Amino acid sequence: MSQLLSKKLKVALIQITSGADKSANLAHAKEFILKALAKDPSIDLTILPECFNSPYSVSEFANYAERIPDGESTRFLSQLAKENKIYLVGGSIPELGDDGKVYNTSVTFDREGQVIGKHRKAHLFDIDIPGGITFKESITLTGGDKATVFNLPEFGNVGEGICYDIRFPELAALAAREKNAFAMVYPGAFNTVTGPLHWHLLARARAVDNQIFVLLCSPSRNLDLSYHAYGHSLVVDPNGNIIAEAGEDEEIVIAELDPVLLTKTRAGIPVTTQRRFDIYGDWSKNTDPRAI
């Protein structure tokens, strides 16, 4: 089993707003990533929000969908990672699959611009809160069919979900227990109804459940758009403490993930070695080997 986290990892969450112009959205993402690197050149990993290259709208997903890895956004992000020698979680984009279906997909790149991870949002955001919000991604999107873990060679393994995926603890548990992931990353666009309810709670729960770091990267809030993102991109440590958090506007959040904290947390409260599989079984051993 690989080491949990081999050394300190500097991360930057890029909380920005996306409009109708895809090219402008890509340029805006680059602008903020370069700002982050100018502020702190030691940043190793940058993370963009869900649907950073398009509006977050059921009626628009198909219009912005593109192939991966040959589409405009993937090629753009690959070059950006390579030019700046950073790891880059490309938020998510609408993907046109080879099967003709549209997915909400995140692509991760290494320092040379090579794809090292691809996650299709597994749990589609289909909700109806009376007096709150109704949204049904399944009208135009198809859910992915696997859990995702990617490797940062100098650091270790990282699991990924997209937004609504965080409400289902199994993805994080699989990443932490089966692949020794030290963190979960969730590009996500909670809104002004669901955000105040559960954004912080879910991030802290996934961190404490698995004694890992949890990173959530949201779009900034723009009331001129039809969908009002919650904002509040944040980083949670393995004890459930929020160690960095944005507000509602466009912002760069920089944090350092320290392996010493992981070790201390797990030594102090050793839940990772105290599970009673003799009572409730180890469901993670019964997964399809393709899952991660």
Note the pLDDT of residue 287: 60
Please state at what angle helix 72-84 crosses helix 22-39, rounded to 10 degrees: 20
- In the Cβ-directed half-sphere of 212, how many Cα atoms lie within 13 Å? 29
Residues 6 or more apart in contact with residue 139 via CB below 8 angstroms: 58
Catalytic-residue membership of 136: no
Q: Residue 250: which of 40, 59, 53, 13 has the closest Cα?
A: 13
The kind and range of the H/E element at 122 are none
User: What number is the average pLDDT over the span 273-281?
Assistant: 93
The pLDDT tens digits of the residues spanning 224-266 come to 888 999 999 999 999 999 999 999 999 999 999 999 999 999 9
- Per-residue pLDDT band at 285 (split at 50, 70, 90): confident
The pLDDT tens digits of the residues spanning 54-75 come to 999 999 999 999 999 999 999 9
Catalytic-residue membership of 101: no
Cα–Cα distance list, 159 to 10, 18, 171, 248, 292 (Å): 17, 25, 8, 26, 9
User: What number is the average pLDDT over the span 66-91?
Assistant: 98
Residues 6 or more apart in contact with residue 193 via CB below 8 angstroms: 129, 132, 133
Domains in the chain and their CATH numbers?
11-286 (3.60.110.10)
User: What number is the average pLDDT over the span 269-292?
Assistant: 80
What is the DSSP code (8-state) at residue 219?
A: P
The pLDDT tens digits of the residues spanning 139-149 come to 999 999 999 99
- Residues constituting the chain: 292
- In the Cβ-directed half-sphere of 166, how many Cα atoms lie within 13 Å? 27
Residue with tokens 């039809």: 226
Asked if the model's pLDDT at residue 292 lies above 80, the reply is: no
CB 23 within 8 A of CB 269: no
Asked if the model's pLDDT at residue 1 lies above 70, the reply is: no
How much of the chain, in percent, has pLDDT values that exceed 70? 97
The pLDDT tens digits of the residues spanning 139-196 come to 999 999 999 999 999 999 999 999 999 999 999 999 999 999 999 999 999 999 999 9
User: What number is the average pLDDT over the span 196-202?
Assistant: 98
Alpha-helix runs per DSSP H in the chain: 22-39, 61-64, 72-84, 170-178, 194-210, 259-268, 277-280
Catalytic residue among 22, 66, 163, 217: 163
DSSP bridge pairs for 40: none
Structure tokens at 108: 């991760």
Catalytic-residue membership of 51: no
CB 253 within 8 A of CB 215: no
For the chain, the helix, strand and coil percentages under 3-state DSSP, each to the nearest 5: 30, 25, 45
Total-model pTM: 0.95
Catalytic residue among 51, 66, 95, 121: 121
Note the pLDDT of residue 291: 53
Cα–Cα distance list, 205 to 46, 196, 288 (Å): 23, 15, 25
Catalytic residue among 22, 50, 160, 245: 50
Cα–Cα distance list, 270 to 40, 80, 235, 264, 284 (Å): 34, 40, 22, 10, 19
Q: Residue 123: which of 80, 53, 172 has the closest Cα?
A: 172
